[in-house]
Amino acid sequence: MDPKDPKNAPSRRLVVNGLGTGLMAAPGLLASSGPALAQQADSPAPTASPPTGGRTLQNPVTEYPKPPFPRQTQEWPGLASKMNPRPDHGETSYKGSGRLAGRRALVTGGDSGIGRAAVIAYAREGADVAINYLPAEESDAREVVDLIRAEGRKAVAIPGDLRDEAFCRRLVADAVAQLGGLDILVNNAARQTAQPSIEAITTEQFDATLKTNLYAMFWITKAAVPHLPSGATIINTASVVAYDPPEALLDYSTTKAGIVAFTKSLAKQLAPKGIRVNAVAPGPFWTPLQPSGGQMPDKLPQFGADSPIGRPGQPVELAPVYVMLASRESSYATGGVFGSTGGNVGP
């Protein structure tokens, strides 16, 4: 199928339905976006939702695991392979259709969580992908590399600590060299450490959070911009906590609010060059951030229970958002923050 053929253009009904629960689009986006393609092929059967229009509806409340979860902790940075239940990144459920054929992406934090879901989707949509991760996450990263290569796409693994400015510059240079260029940048890696009060946050923790979440985004983006052609896109992972910061995530919330401002300002700078910049603001998502210090251990079993949907999101549920923002179908969207919050306060 030729995606440029007008006969294959999605209808407005498909576009609106495909964006998914909780996704809030910037003005003008719905009319130009394509359908979200994360088809949950092996999800549980729907409950009390009859077939409609030739499709079977899925109830988002019961589609994925709900709290309570087993009590669990991991050392930072955590591994998806050790989580119970294990997160769904789309390993068996995401079905691509060539929407990013020939594209070249760099995704930080691509070994697990939201970054891993984006990487799997990008590869299945036809992109070559470079991923960054910490050396301690090598086992998760190897799984992702295998998944990329299984799609016949090029996989580039570049481990390293984003708190180091020199490494961030080298990361971009290596990705460009090994991919043969770069036209999708996803700044996704994050540090999150819950603390009961400001008095418990050390200078070392505050510094690590800001360098991972804000400084690295600045360093990597600055290094990448000279390599990005017209039509390229930058996607930053913000959070619902930028809009409704919890008391236990003071430093993390500060950085996520900064990402929103950074995104909006940079979008204005780069728009004349034809480079779009947007952010995604997830709500509570089931990723290794949570058991490796991102939540208080006694709070983790009920993680996501207070969202209107009653559960945390699974990373695969965000994959279509990252695909949409990288694709030509969102060509008029820049400077936006796209929420997938499970009904919580967000953009």
Q: Does 2.40.50.660 match the CATH number of domain 98-340?
A: no
Amino acid (1-letter code) at residue 67: P
From first to last of the 347 residues of the chain, give the pLDDT tens digit: 444 444 444 443 333 333 333 333 333 333 333 333 333 334 444 444 455 455 689 999 999 999 999 999 999 999 999 999 999 999 999 999 999 999 999 999 999 999 999 999 999 999 999 999 999 999 999 999 999 999 999 999 999 999 999 999 999 999 999 999 999 999 999 999 999 999 999 999 999 999 999 999 999 999 999 999 999 999 999 999 999 999 999 999 999 999 999 999 999 999 999 999 999 999 999 999 999 999 999 999 999 999 999 999 999 999 999 999 999 999 999 999 999 999 998 88
Q: Cβ(74)–Cβ(87) under 8 Å?
A: no
- Provide the β-strand partners of residue 339: 281
**Per-residue pLDDT, 3:** 42
252 carries an active-site annotation? yes
pLDDT at 50: 53
pLDDT value of position 8:
45
Q: Identify whether the C-beta of residue 10 lies closer than 8 Å to the C-beta of residue 18.
A: yes
Query: Distance (Å, rounded) from C-alpha 230 to C-alpha 151?
Result: 27
Mapped onto helix, strand or coil, the DSSP state of residue 269 is: helix
* 50 φ, ψ (degrees, to nearest 5): -75, 160
120: nearest Cα among 86, 137, 143: 143
| Token duo for residue 238 | 């913000």
pLDDT at residue number 17:
35
Strand arrangement, sheet containing 104-108: 155-159, 128-133, 104-108, 184-187, 233-237, 276-282, 337-340
pLDDT of residue 345: 86
The pTM assigned to this predicted structure is: 0.84
Q: How do the domains of the chain map onto residue ranges?
A: 98-340
pLDDT of residue 54: 56
**CA 116 to CA 118: how far, in whole Å?**
5
Set 94, 122, 252, 322: catalytic member:
252
Picking from 87, 14, 135, 134, the residue whose alpha carbon sits closest to that of residue 319 is 87
